[in-house]
Amino acid sequence: MRVEIWSDIACPWCYVGKARFEKALGAFPHRDEVEVVHRSFELDPHRAKGDVQPVLTMLSKKYGMSEAQAQAGENNLGAQAAAEGLDYRTTGRDHGNTFDMHRLLHLAKERGRQDELIQILYRANFAEERSVFSEGDERLVELAVEAGLDAEEAREVLADPTAYADAVRADEREAAELGANGVPFFVLDRTYGVSGAQPAEVFTQALTQAWGERSPLRLVDDGGAEACGPDGCAVPQN
């Protein structure tokens, strides 16, 4: 079974939702037969690469709230994250464009290191003092290397704005086609969708239901046509 997760590194509920999903997946009897693929979704796709601002300022402007209200929201998110065993800095974080991170995640997918990189990027953005937005490409290269990617290959991707750009945009178009207008958005075997950072129990129910309703293979015709098997190939007799 395949689970696709549309998310953004700048999304705190994606950070929390991933932990809740993984808690459910860890207890799922068929977890070794579940493939997890991370898909791209930018919450702020029109923000320029160099446009970085404090999270509280961004929230105040975007939602028309006071900074005190924005801080209260961050404190609530910090408590939610802590309940899942996650570190979360409720003050001092910044916000910026995540397009380059998504491009690196597509490189990581090709190298079999996608889950490692997305978790490292989440940790760096939500739990560490150093910024993933304002320190330039070398900060992202450093994190890519920590995830097991080659430093020069990561630098080449970041230096070429077209590298994996089409893959990111394709993910985003697909999200729109599936009806996802927010993240995290989980799609199980292209049959069930789960929106938001749901409790682990909801993910357990979704995994169980999707697994139980997988369609068995149906043979169109088993009319005895020649085939090869463990014992060899049938030789037609004249």
> pLDDT digits over 116-140, tens only?
999 999 999 999 999 999 999 999 9
* CB within 8 Å of 3: residues ≥ 6 apart: 21, 25, 34, 35, 36, 37, 186, 187, 188, 189, 207
* CB within 8 Å of 125: residues ≥ 6 apart: 9, 10, 15, 93, 132
Q: Does 112 have pLDDT greater than 90?
A: yes
Q: Does 230 have pLDDT greater than 60?
A: no
Looking at residue 174, its pLDDT comes to: 97
Looking at residue 214, its pLDDT comes to: 81
Looking at residue 167, its pLDDT comes to: 98
Q: Which pTM was predicted?
A: 0.90
**C-alpha distances in angstroms, 100 versus 51, 141, 161?**
14, 11, 8
What is the C-alpha to C-alpha distance for residues 84 and 18, in angstroms, rounded to an integer? 10
What percent of the chain clears pLDDT 90, i.e. is strictly above it?
89
Q: Which residue has the tokens 């990111």?
A: 168
Q: Does 54 have pLDDT greater than 90?
A: yes
Residue 40 gets which letter from DSSP?
E
Q: Does 171 have pLDDT greater than 90?
A: yes
Sign of CA dihedral 87, 89, 93, 95: positive
Q: Does 185 have pLDDT greater than 70?
A: yes
List beta partners, residue 64: none
Q: Does 213 have pLDDT greater than 70?
A: yes
Looking at residue 38, its pLDDT comes to: 98
